[in-house]
Every structure is written in C-alpha cells, then in structure tokens.
Structure 1
Amino acid sequence: MRSSTVAFYTLGCKVNQGETDALAGLFKARQYQTVSFEERSDVYVINTCTVTQLSDRKSRQMIRRAQRRNPEAVVVVTGCYAQVSPEEVQAIEGVDIIIGTDQRQKIVELVEDYKKVGEQIHAVEDIRSVTLFEEFPAHADISKARASIKIQDGCNLFCTYCIIPYARGPVRSRPPESVIKEAKRLIQEGFRELVITGIHLGAYGTDLNVDLGDLVKKLCRLEGLHRLRIGSIEPQEFTPSLLEALTEPTICPHFHIPLQSGSDKILKSMGRRYNRQDFIDICTKIMSMLPDGAITTDIIVGFPGESEADFLQTEELCRTLQLAGVHVFPFSPRRGTKAATFPGQIDRKKKEERVQRIQEISRHLSYRYSQKFLGQRKEVLLEEKVDRHWTGHTDNYLKVFVPVGEDFLEDHTLRGSLQIIELKTVREDGSLEGVLSVL
C-alpha cells in the first residue's frame, strides 16, 4: 500500500517558509510523503500571504492550480489570506479545508476528517482572541543548509498600511526554555546555522516579561552552534541588551532594519514609531560596532501623499548610509487598513517609476558593499548546486558562487558545510565568485 502524498506551496515571508516546514513535519510524522507542488498529489497545502493585492491574487492562482493538477486531491488553504478573507477562500471551487494562522497543529487530523466526511471544513478562528504562542515542532529538512526557529507571532503596532495585525493577532512569544530546547535539537541534527524569526521579532518577550537580548546571548553560547542569524528588527527595538548581544562571535553580522520611508512626514502618516534620525542613529551605532556588517532595509514607495521631495529624502538616505541592499515595494492599499482610505493616493505609473529608481540604487549599493571583500577569505555556508557551482552565503549574507570539479559537484556532504572561500570577483547583481581555499 503506497503512502499518501502531500505537496506544499508557500507565499510570503520567511516566517511562512518556516511554518510550512513545520507543517511538513506534522505530515511526515503521519507517514505522508512530501512531493513537489508540480506533481500530482493526494493533498495540497497552500500557505498564503495577504501583504499586497498581488499576494492575494497569487494565492488564488495556486489554489486553482492545485485543483486542476488533481481534482480528487484534498486542497488545504492556510495562512494570512485564509485568516483575513476566509469567505473569499471558501468560495473558490475545490477548496476543502480552510485554516487561518492558529491551531495549525490540527492540520493532519482535519485532512483525515475530510477524507471520511467529504464536506468542506472551515477552521478559521478569531485571531484577536488568541493569547498563547502556538507551539508545534519545527521540522527542518537536513537537505537544507540552515534551520529556522519561530519564536514570536502577532503584532500590536497597527501601522496604517499593514494588514498583518489583523491576520496574525496580538503579540505572542515562545517561552525561552522552549526556544533553547528546539535549538539544541536542531544543532544535534547537524545544522550549523539557525535563524530566529517572528512576525514582529523585536516585540519578543513583551507578553512574558522576558528579554530578546538575553535569549540571543543564551542561544549564541549553545555548544555546537556556529552561526545565529536574527530576523528583521524595527529601528526602535534595538535595546542596550540586544545591542550587547550583537557582539557575540556566533551572531551573523547582517541586520535587516525596516525604514519604509526617509521622510518624517510619511513615517508619521504610516504610523511608524521612529523618525528618520532614529534610523540613522541605530545604523550608525551598529556600523561602528561591526564595520564589516551588512544592513539591509525595506522601502515602501508611493504611499498616499508622498511628494517627489519626500521620495528624494528616501533616495538620499539610502545612498548616504551606504546600506548593503534595499527591498522595495509599491504601496498596496489593503481593505480594512487606514491608509487604504487616505487622500493623495499615488498612481500606478509613478509608483513603478519610484520602485525602479530604488532598485537601481539597491543594485549599486549591493555591488559596492560586495567589492569591500574582494581578495578576502570568508567562511561560506554551502547551500545548493547551481549549474556547475556550489552556492552559499557568508555570515554577512553575501551570496557566493563557487565553481568546483565534477567530484565535488556531486559531493552532497558539502551541503550545510562551512567552507573557506577566497572571494575573487563581483557579479553584476552584487553576488561574488570565489574558489575553495580549504576543503
């Protein structure tokens, strides 16, 4: 008798990616075999995103693709889009089970229930009433080079453009002892790098009266851990304790700090809790502590009321601070958020033009940052094969391509290993090529 198969498709952020890995572990524990989403499967799980209108549309497309691939399959829709717009999801032909962003530890039981009853299951709960962090074991495929630990969920900030508090509910933190236990297990499984993630990571511990900086220090000192990478942190949330933790030798010196706009007027309209100078101060502080560290950021262009002068302040700030890269997004009005009804909405063409201008700056910044490391030997975590190269990342998240001979190309033990690479050239996109210095 063959095992039942399950396929996953994930949209959105790294937290979603980690949650999909955990869901895969729940199915694996029940003897399901994971297959590619492109294959015919008995069960399809679409982990959705709702940050933009494009995310919603892409989620719907993947739901329909799963249904077409196998009309007999059980189609499960979970994640943020399912949480915020369950009625829309429910109306899509072929959707069998709808789960939001909580109680997902029940996903396999719900699939088994559906197989018996054959009636659509609606399991979306009021996320605003959830007060406890949902723990289900992280599952990290050893074929991946690094493992993520989700330590926090929810957000209390309610920025005027953001739907996430409505999709994820209030801040809930994972108890420190649970985080440490999970980290030890993943280290024992052979992972050299761990990534701590959360929807609003800097708010970790505010509901438990514990400190993120203290947790980071404890994780850094775990025996066998070579790298600890920290997810996105808001500018105002770098406490003295967290800043002190950043000097731990295990910490990866790459920090993603959302800016969103270089204009104080726009930041205030967005409902952000910092101003332009606050962002400059924290970046300057971190750069003085870790001169070779990388700081990347997020920018939203075309926010309602953003003038050309406001946008120029954003451009100037990105250049002046010499960031290592920028992720840029056009403002997308989300139903239910304040900014969706603000006057001064920017037309699509102008938003696209501003996206392109920031992308050009980002390419220049990434290239210039990478150039600093030419000729150096850096430790690279090898992750996957691309053509006749192994690729991976340095601790400061430089992407490196390493050409290798046929023997090493097929050496699967290289995945997840740390190798010393001499960096030789910078590619146009800011990634580097290097050669194995020690193998």
Structure 2
Amino acid sequence: MKDINIDKADLKLGNKEFYEKYGRNKTVSTHTLGCKVNQYETEAMEELFEKAGYEIVDFKDKADIYVVNTCTVTNVADKKSRQMLSKAEHTNENAIIVAVGCYAQIAKDKLENDKNIDLVIGSNNKNRIVELVEEYINEGNKINVVEDIGKTTRYENIFISKVNEKTRAYIKIQDGCNQFCSYCIIPYTRGRIRSREMSSVVDEVNTLARKGYHEIVLTGIHIASYGKDMANTSLIDLLIKLNTIKGILRIRLGSLEPNLITDEFVKQISALKKICPHFHLSLQSGCDETLKRMNRKYTTDQFFEKVNIIRKAYDNPSITTDIIVGFPGETDKEFNDTMDFVKKIGFSGIHVFKYSMRKGTPAAARKDQINPKIKTERSHILSSEEKRIRNDFLQKFINKDVVVLFEEETIIDGKKCYFGFTENYIKVKVINDNNIQNQQLKATIVKIENDYLVGSI
C-alpha cells in the first residue's frame, strides 16, 4: 500500500475517484481493548467497512481512519484507551480518529473536548459506524453519539460472517448486565440486559458453519441472563437450536454466573452432545464475607453445590474461574478462606486479578482499601497454587485418549506441529506431517509440556 499523505477533504471523493487519484482504497485501522465481546464487535465493524469499499490495515500502519474500541473495566484500561487514541493521532495527524465503546460511553464529555478525537460513539451505534464516519467526512463537524445506556432496551444488531481464527468463532448473544457487583462499572457502561433474537444467532452460526467453522463460543456481558428480557426464550432454548446445526461440532459457553447451574439445566445441556464440558464459573472470592461485600448473589456452599452438579453429569469437566485478591476489607483470614476453598474445589484453571479501584463503583468509595504490596503478595500466592492445581488436572489425562479440534500449524525444531483443544479446553500438541488443521481427531496423551499436553495420533 502506498504511504501517501492525503487531506481529510479528499475522503469525500467516491471510492472510484479516490482510487484513481491515490492508487489505493480508503483505509481503516482498528484496535481492540478489553473483552471477547469487544473483539467480536470490532470484527463486525471491520466487515461493515469492507462492505462499503474500505481496506482494513494493521494498526501500526498509516491509515485514513482509526477506530479504537475502548475498555473501561479498570483505571488501567482507561489509560490504555487514551494511549491508543493518542497513538493513532501521532501515526497520522490527518486521519479521522474514532473512539468507540465502553470508555467512550463513560468519558464522553472528556472525549468531546479532545480536539484530536473526531467521533465519539458509545456502547451502542457500532452498527452505524460507516454511516457516522461518512457523515463526518461530508460535514466536517465533530460527532458525539452516546445514548443514555441505562434507558436502552433494544439489542443492537451487529453481525459477523467471518473471523480471524480459522476454526473457532465467537458469537455475541446478549449485552448488558443487571447484577451491579460492587466493584464493576460494566452495568453503567453497557446498560441493562438485552438479548439478541434467537433467529439472528441461528442465522449467523449457519453462515459460519457453511464457511467451515467447527466451533462456536457464545459470548456476551452476562450470557446467563440470555432471554430473560424476551417472551418464551431462554439460554437452553438457544442451545437446543444451535445443537442441530450441521457442520458445528462444538458449542462452548462463555463465562457463566454460578446461579445458572441447576440440576435441570445441567441435565438438559448434558443431553446436547455438542456442548463442551468446559464451564467458566465466576467465583471472585472463596470467602462468604468478601462475596457479600462484592454483592455477589451466592455463598461458597452454593458454589460448591453447583460444581458438584456439573461433576455428576460429566467425566473430568474443566471448571475454571476468576478470583479477585485484595478486595477492600479483605483480611488475611478472608484470603486464607479463599485459598482453602480453591483447594477444595480443584479448579482446572484460575484467572487471578488484583483488585483495581474503579471510580464510580461502591467498592471504590470504601475506606478499607488494601495496600498494593499485599495485593501483589496475595496474587503471587494464589497464582502459585493455580499452577499446582492446573498440573493436577492435566495429570489425569496422561495415557488417555482425548478428542482434539486442531487449529494451528507451526514448526518446532524443524518438525511440523499442530495445536488444538480438547472439548474441555486443554491445549494439545502433536507432531504430524499431514495437514490436520480444522480437523477433529483422537489423540493419545503421552506427557505434559509447559502448560499443555503432548499427544500422538
């Protein structure tokens, strides 16, 4: 691509005229911060630009338009969002800079006053990204499209028909959250729960299946609430529909609230053979007093019961979780209670987070904040325990046969290797001369290497 400085005014030219003048299409560069939902939405926005005749280029390249899909889950995420917007402006001072997403939602006034930002689009209206950019191009006036997200009741329709990965596709099925955990800003930036029409989800999955994708991961801000804002629709109804789609071999669930897990729910999903036995249940703390301060709506005894329901229905299911250490008021005893509970559950993996104060949340207003050094120490202790229990889980599969969906080909020490994942989300490596990418095959596990299994087929 030619690196040519252009004036913003020339973006008003039609696609044909622009190409004739500059020898290239108008270019768009995107950058995503934060969660899988943001990644999905960025890919959907890229598709909208491509359909309108724009070319997507790498974020480090000089582009005509930069779109930064921002995150605000922590103060660090805010800082990174500002840094990436600034980086775009420094890469090409003549470019159009678009701030979109959660940080744009909550910092709309600050971004409105930033002379380097041309468009501010909140948590909704991502499906209008091309229309809004072209409105700015034609009129030249700064655009700020940030709704009162707390009053938004419609799910924003946004779709993908291709993804960057070659095997697995993430599918957004809902937005918003009604939980209001005391540490979390998301309900204020994403609004209340809004579910996507089941027919829309099914259509998208059918499209991806026809293009050769074999695994889908259902994602959203709070997927356990899917259908609660709709008549006669629930998450299990959607799963039953998706389970029938030809070409889809696996359906993986994103992060779940523990209270979704009941005997009836697990009985229903265990009868659906494409549902993967991998459950990410957000714990956050293994201490009841801490959970209460977090406004989490379960106890450790209830969580333990949910895990047992899953383990009765599946052989060696993978149960992973998130845990926050150093939450305001967390005493040594409370942290030790969490450590004891982690050992009791025997997770297959833990994402460990140090509590990060988020302005605007009840937890940030508390006076009993924990010293950063103590947070770091507790994080190291829990991370060490995570490595031990992860190894214990992996040991169960030595000399066992597992089914692997292979995704990635690479060369290691001159040998062709393939990496893939088991149904319960364990990474597996095999050495094989044949092309087995995007194939689901049985492998016999021979050893543990780093944080994955090594097998033969």
Shorter-chain TM-score bucket reads over 0.9
1:400 aligns with 2:428: yes
Give the C-alpha shift of residue 222 in structure 1.
2.0
State the partner residue of 1:269. Answer: 293
Give the C-alpha shift of residue 383 in structure 1.
2.4
Give the C-alpha shift of residue 379 in structure 1.
2.5
State the partner residue of 1:76. Answer: 98
> Against the structure 1 CA distance between its residues 325 and 176, is the aligned structure 2 distance closer, same or farther, given a 3 Å change threshold?
same
In structure 2, the residue corresponding to 1:246 is in which secondary structure?
helix
TM superposition outliers: structure 1 runs of 4+ over 4 Å: none
TM-score (norm: length of structure 2): 0.90
Q: CA separation in 1, counterparts of 2:115 and 2:314?
A: 53
- Match of residue 234, structure 1, among 231, 254, 257: 257
1:220 aligns with 2:243: yes
> Against the structure 1 CA distance between its residues 218 and 284, is the aligned structure 2 distance closer, same or farther, given a 3 Å change threshold?
same
State the partner residue of 1:119. Answer: 141
Q: Greater shift after overlay, 71-80 or 151-160?
A: 71-80
Q: CA separation in 2, counterparts of 1:132 and 1:317?
A: 40
Amino acid aligned to 2:265? L
Q: CA separation in 1, counterparts of 2:411 and 2:143?
A: 44
1:26 aligns with 2:52: no
Amino acid aligned to 1:433? V
Note if contact 1:193-1:227 (Cα within 8 Å) is conserved in structure 2: yes
Note if contact 1:140-1:148 (Cα within 8 Å) is conserved in structure 2: no
Describe the superposition over 1:37-90 as per-residue Cα deviations: whole angstroms up to 9, x where unpaired: 122222221111111111111111111111122222222111111111112333
State the partner residue of 1:391. Answer: 419
In structure 2, the residue corresponding to 1:383 is in which secondary structure?
strand
Give the C-alpha shift of residue 208 in structure 1.
0.4
In structure 2, the residue corresponding to 1:62 is in which secondary structure?
helix
Amino acid aligned to 1:231? G
Give the C-alpha shift of residue 425 in structure 1.
2.1
Give the C-alpha shift of residue 364 in structure 1.
1.4
1:292 aligns with 2:316: yes
Amino acid aligned to 2:367? P
Note if contact 1:67-1:75 (Cα within 8 Å) is conserved in structure 2: yes
> Against the structure 1 CA distance between its residues 227 and 265, is the aligned structure 2 distance closer, same or farther, given a 3 Å change threshold?
same
1:238-249 alignment, distance < 5 Å: 238-247=261-270, 248-249=272-273
Q: CA separation in 2, counterparts of 1:118 and 1:281?
A: 58
1:352 aligns with 2:376: yes
Note if contact 1:371-1:426 (Cα within 8 Å) is conserved in structure 2: yes
State the partner residue of 2:178. Answer: 156
In structure 2, the residue corresponding to 1:272 is in which secondary structure?
coil
Q: CA separation in 1, counterparts of 2:411 and 2:201?
A: 37
Give the C-alpha shift of residue 33 in structure 1.
1.8
Q: CA separation in 2, counterparts of 1:433 and 1:120?
A: 54
Describe the superposition over 1:273-308 as per-residue Cα deviations: whole angstroms up to 9, x where unpaired: 111111100011101211211000000111111001
- Match of residue 234, structure 2, among 211, 217, 224: 211
Note if contact 1:213-1:244 (Cα within 8 Å) is conserved in structure 2: no
State the partner residue of 2:220. Answer: 198
Give the C-alpha shift of residue 392 in structure 1.
2.1
- Match of residue 311, structure 1, among 335, 340, 348: 335
Note if contact 1:375-1:422 (Cα within 8 Å) is conserved in structure 2: yes
Give the C-alpha shift of residue 401 in structure 1.
2.6
Q: Greater shift after overlay, 210-219 or 348-357?
A: 210-219
Give the C-alpha shift of residue 163 in structure 1.
0.2
Unaligned runs of 5+ in 1: none
TM-score (norm: length of structure 1): 0.93
Give the C-alpha shift of residue 404 in structure 1.
4.0
Amino acid aligned to 2:215? E
1:374 aligns with 2:395: no
Q: Greater shift after overlay, 61-70 or 155-164?
A: 61-70
Give the C-alpha shift of residue 240 in structure 1.
4.5
> Against the structure 1 CA distance between its residues 344 and 369, is the aligned structure 2 distance closer, same or farther, given a 3 Å change threshold?
same
Describe the superposition over 1:343-400 as per-residue Cα deviations: whole angstroms up to 9, x where unpaired: 2110111111111111111111222211211223322222234443332211111112
Q: CA separation in 2, counterparts of 1:418 and 1:93?
A: 52
Unaligned runs of 5+ in 2: 1-18
In structure 2, the residue corresponding to 1:250 is in which secondary structure?
coil
1:32-51 alignment, distance < 5 Å: 32-51=54-73
> Against the structure 1 CA distance between its residues 292 and 339, is the aligned structure 2 distance closer, same or farther, given a 3 Å change threshold?
same
> Against the structure 1 CA distance between its residues 264 and 143, is the aligned structure 2 distance closer, same or farther, given a 3 Å change threshold?
closer
State the partner residue of 2:117. Answer: 95
1:283 aligns with 2:274: no
- Match of residue 330, structure 1, among 354, 379, 384: 354
State the partner residue of 2:9. Answer: none
Q: CA separation in 2, counterparts of 1:355 and 1:387?
A: 35
Amino acid aligned to 2:59? F
Identity of aligned residues (%): 41
Give the C-alpha shift of residue 142 in structure 1.
6.2
Q: CA separation in 2, counterparts of 1:434 and 1:71?
A: 51
Amino acid aligned to 1:380? V
Note if contact 1:5-1:34 (Cα within 8 Å) is conserved in structure 2: yes
Q: CA separation in 2, counterparts of 1:381 and 1:35?
A: 30
In structure 1, the residue corresponding to 2:443 is in which secondary structure?
strand
Note if contact 2:276-2:424 (Cα within 8 Å) is conserved in structure 1: yes
Give the C-alpha shift of residue 141 in structure 1.
2.5
